């Protein structure tokens, strides 16, 4: 049953992300959530790809939305258990080649407490 709730959270995540709705996206996360991304590692090398807390998440995604107004994610699959959901999706940005992405959201008490991004 829990995995079905995680899929609903994942769908809310995609909806918020694709609409560049920063507040709705942040509302899905725990205040102390951590996020790892190879893109973060490239753009902000001092982080080594890892940030924590909603303020850092806000800054990261606001910058992404501002720089990449056509950024969208097209989900292709979800796999969930009682602790996390594994999502596969295609990243699209006008003028860039599509990129295959996998991301794991760790969820407890209805909030995302960790996310890790992997590029294909």
Quick one: pLDDT at residue 82?
87
C-alpha–C-alpha distance, residues 23 and 7, integer Å: 20
Q: Is 120's pLDDT higher than 80? A: no
pLDDT value for 110: 92
Say how many CA atoms lie within 13 Å of 91 toward its Cβ: 16
Q: Is the pLDDT of residue 4 over 80?
A: no
Structure tokens at 30: 């725990």
- Give the pLDDT of residue 3: 59
What pLDDT score does 25 carry?
98
- Token duo for residue 117: 């991004």
Is residue 1 one of the residues assigned to a domain? no
Q: Tens digits of per-residue pLDDT, 28-78?
A: 999 999 999 999 999 999 999 999 999 999 999 999 999 999 999 999 999
Compute CA distances 41 → 13, 46, 59, 120, whole Å.
22, 8, 14, 16
What residues make up the domain containing 102? 6-119
What tens digit of pLDDT does each residue of 6-26 get? 999 999 999 999 999 999 999
Q: Which helix (H) or strand (E) holds 49?
A: none
Please answer whether residues 52 and 44 qualify as being in contact, where contact means their C-beta atoms are separated by less than 8 angstroms: no
**CATH number of the domain where residue 87 is located:** 3.10.450.50
Q: How many domains does the chain have?
A: 1
């Amino acid at each position: 049953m829990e995995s079905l709730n995680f899929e609903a959270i994942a769908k809310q995540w995609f909806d918020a992300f694709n609409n560049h709705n920063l507040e709705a996206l942040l509302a899905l996360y725990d205040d102390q959530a951590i996020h790892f991304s190879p893109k973060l590692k490239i753009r902000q090398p001092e982080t080594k790809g890892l940030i924590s807390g909603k303020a850092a998440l806000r800054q990261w995604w606001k910058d992404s939305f501002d720089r990449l107004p056509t950024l969208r994610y097209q989900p292709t699959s979800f796999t969930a258990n009682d602790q996390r959901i594994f999502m596969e999706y295609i990243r699209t940005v006008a003028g860039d080649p599509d990129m295959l992405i996998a991301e794991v959201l760790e969820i407890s008490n209805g909030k995302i407490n960790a996310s890790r991004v992997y590029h294909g």
